[in-house]
Structure 1
Amino acid sequence: MYVDSHCHLNYTGLVEHFDDVIQRAKDAHVSHMVCICSRLDEFPSITKLTEHHDNIYCSVGIHPHECGESEIASPSQLVEFARHPKVIGIGETGLDFFYENSPEEKQIENFKNHIKAARETNLPIIIHTREADNKTIEILKKTTQEEGPFPGLIHCFSTDKKVADCALELGFYISISGIITFKNADNLRDIVKTIPLERLLIETDAPFLAPVPKRGRTNEPSFIPHTAKMLADLFDLDSEELGRITSNNFFKLFTKAQF
C-alpha cells in the first residue's frame, strides 16, 4: 500500500473526474491521499472533497506563488482553519525565488507565519523551496534555535544535499516525487540514496510532474507506484516493502491522520 502525501485533487485535470481518480488510486493500492491547499480561498472546496472520504486528508496554507496578490494569512487564521478535523498539516508554504510571482519579503513573512502556526498546532509544516535554499535553511535553523523544534516536511525534494542535511538535522522528513524517475535526475538519485529510509515519504504532486513512463500526461495518485519502484530500486527493496516503510513514516509524521 502507498500513501500519496502531496497532491492537488481540486485542480483542473483531476477534479472533473474526481470519482474515477479516486477509484484508480484505490486500484493502484494507494490507501491515503493528502489534498494540499495553496490558497485560502480554495480551502472550502478542498475540505468538501475530503469530507466524504475517510482516506483523504488536507492541509491549509498559502503557496509562495500566491502571497503577492492578496493579504497573507496570520498565524491565528491558519490555526483556526487547522481545527477542521481533516486538516493534518500546515502548508504548502516556503520560498520560491525562481519565478517573480510574489515579492521575496512577502514570501518570507508568509513562511514565518506558517512556521508559527505549525508550532502552535503541532501539525507538520509542508515546505516548498526553489532557488531559495540558503534563505530557507537560514529561516528554519534560526527559528529552531530561538524557539525550539517543530515537525516538518520538505515536499517534492529536488534540490541540493545541503537542504536534505538541514531537514534531517531538524528532524524533518523528505518527500520524493516523480522527478526521481526523470532521465536527467542522476544527481537527485545519488542524494536520495544518502537519506535514511525512515525519513522518506512519497508523493505525486498531481496533476504535475507525472513520472516515467507517464510523462506528458496529467499526473494522478494512481501513478505513484512508478515513483515507488524507482525509489525501491535505489535501496534494493521491493516496491511493497518501500510502500510499507514510507506509509509508516507518513503516519509517524502526520499524527492527526488515522491509519
Structure 2
Amino acid sequence: MNLYSYFFVAGVSAFCLLTGRSAVAQDIKVEPIIIKAERNRILRSFIDLNGGKRVTHAISVGSPLQVHYTYDADNGQLVLLWKGGFLDATPMWHDRGDGSSRPLGKAIRIGDATPQIQRLATPQTELKKDTVGSGFKPKGYTLDASGLPVFKYQAYGLNVKDATRVIDDGQGIRREIESEGSANNLYLCLAKANVIEHKDGNYVIEDKAYSITIVDEAKLKPIIRTIQGTQELLVPFQSKIIYSILFNQ
C-alpha cells in the first residue's frame, strides 16, 4: 500500500467510526412485508396514530371485501377504518423491528384511543382520556364461524361484547355492542369532528369522509354537542346499540 492509499483508507475508517456508518453502501432496498386479506385476517401489533399517539394493544382485522379496521383493546374502541390493501408489517418484522404495522391505503381515524363507554354526570360532562374509575378490564375475544372476533371486556360492572362486521357491499362496517345488564348515565361517543350534521337519518362527519347510521335512533335519542370547539356524537347506552359507519366516497 502506498502512502496515498494508506491515508485514504485511514480517512474513510475514521469517518465511519465518527458517524457510525459502514463503509459498505447504505442504500439497501428493503422488500416490503405485506399482509394480504385474501381471507379474514387478524394481526396484533402497535399502531401509530396521527399526532404521535401509539396504540400498544391494537388488533387489526382484515376482510377479503377490502375493508379493514383497527380495534384498541385497551379502551374498547375502534380507531382506524380503511379500504384497499390490509397491512404493511415491514416496521414490525424487518430486522429487529419496532412492533408496529401500518394500514395500506388512506385510513380514516374514527376514534382517538380513549374509552368508548363512559359514565357522564350530565350530557355536557367532558369525556375522560383514560379508564380510571371505570373498572375496565379487557377479556380477550372469541372467533365466530367465519374467523371474525367478538371482543369482550368489563366496564362499570358490566360484561360487554363488541362485534364489528364488514357490510356485504363493502361500503362500510356494522358494529353491535351489547352488555349483560345495564347501568345509569353511560354513553358511547361515536364520533368527534369539526362539524357533525344530521341529514336524512344519517350523521355526516363532514371532515372525515364517512357517515353514521344508528339502529333505533328515535328510541336512543343521540346527542350532538360541542366541547371546546369540537363536536361529538353521543348515544345513551342502556344494554345494546347497533350502528354502521359508511364511506362517503
TM class, shorter-length: under 0.3
Structure of greater Rg: 2
Instruction: Flag the structure with more relative contact order, 1 or 2, with Cα contacts below 8 A and sequence separation at least 6.
Output: 1
TM-score normalised by structure 2 residue count? 0.25
- Please report the TM-score for the alignment, with normalisation by the length of structure 1: 0.24
- Greater strand percent: which structure? 2
Greater helix content: 1
